[in-house]
Structure 1
Amino acid sequence: MKLTVTAPAVAWFKEEWGCKEGDSIRFFVRYGGVSTVQDSFSMGIAKEQPNDMGISTVIDGITFYMERDELWYMNGHGLIVDYRPETDEVDFKLDDKE
């Protein structure tokens, strides 16, 4: 299982959230919403330090992660976080290669 955050998504976090080296971004599961990953659930985002990291990646000194107890959401797949310029939002999708 792998977490991939694309360069456009990293740039978005730096610009929109003011992320810099040493910051941590958590992706977490929320009940409700629309998702391409799991029905009836969606992803939330928070700028907070990890508690029990399940997967992570560090890009430009920024740690992007999901907690261990939320990895079920990915159903054994990797997660790709990308930026969609047409909506000016990040987008989440499963990495079927994982």
Structure 2
Amino acid sequence: MEKVGAFYMMISIDEKAAMWFTNEFQNNNTVRMFPQYDGFGEKNKGFSLAFSAEAPSNIGFTKEINGISFYVEGNDIWFFEDTETCLSYNDEMKEIQISFKETMAIN
């Protein structure tokens, strides 16, 4: 768990998920993770997690895996507040599976 501002967050990405990102985002070494309004959402009602291959402008959090920097912009940190965001690869569906684990703030 990493302290970001006044709260904690963690992003975990398993090896199969990391390979999926490597294949899907070829020739890009940065992947932005951000909340996208779509009417659904497991963690924040009305929002889901989206991904984009773009250069950062105001990094609030970053984690490098397999040469790819996964990052969250500073203004999107609220979505990940006091949460472990887990990205794994679903072999049956052949896509990324996202789960959120609420955490207790550590003082």
Class of the TM-score when normalised by the shorter of the 2 chains: 0.7 to 0.9
Match runs of 1:15-54 below 5 Å: 15-18=23-26, 23-54=29-60
**Correspondent of 1:10 among 8, 14, 18:** 18
Distance change in 2, residues 1:11/1:58 (3 Å): same
- CA gap 1:26/1:80 in 2 versus in 1, 3 angstroms: same
- Inter-CA distance 25–77: structure 2 relative to 1 (3 Å threshold): same
TM-score (norm 2): 0.76
Q: Which runs of 5+ in 2 are unaligned?
A: 1-8
Q: Does 1:71 align with 2:60?
A: no
Give the superposed CA RMSD.
1.9
Structure 1, gaps ≥5 residues long: none
Which AA in structure 2 matches 1:81? L
Give the residue type in structure 1 aligned to 2:25: W
- Per-residue CA deviations over 1:22-51 (Å, capped at 9, x if unaligned) read x10011111114332221111111011111
Could you list the structure 1 runs, at least 4 aligned residues long, displaced by more than 4 angstroms after superposition: none
Q: Which residue of 1 aligns with 2:64?
A: 58
Number of positions where the alignment pairs a residue of Structure 1 with one of Structure 2: 96
Q: What is the TM-score normalised by the length of structure 1?
A: 0.82
Q: Work out which of the two has the higher radius of gyration on C-alpha atoms and give 1 or 2.
A: 2
% identity of equivalent residues = 25
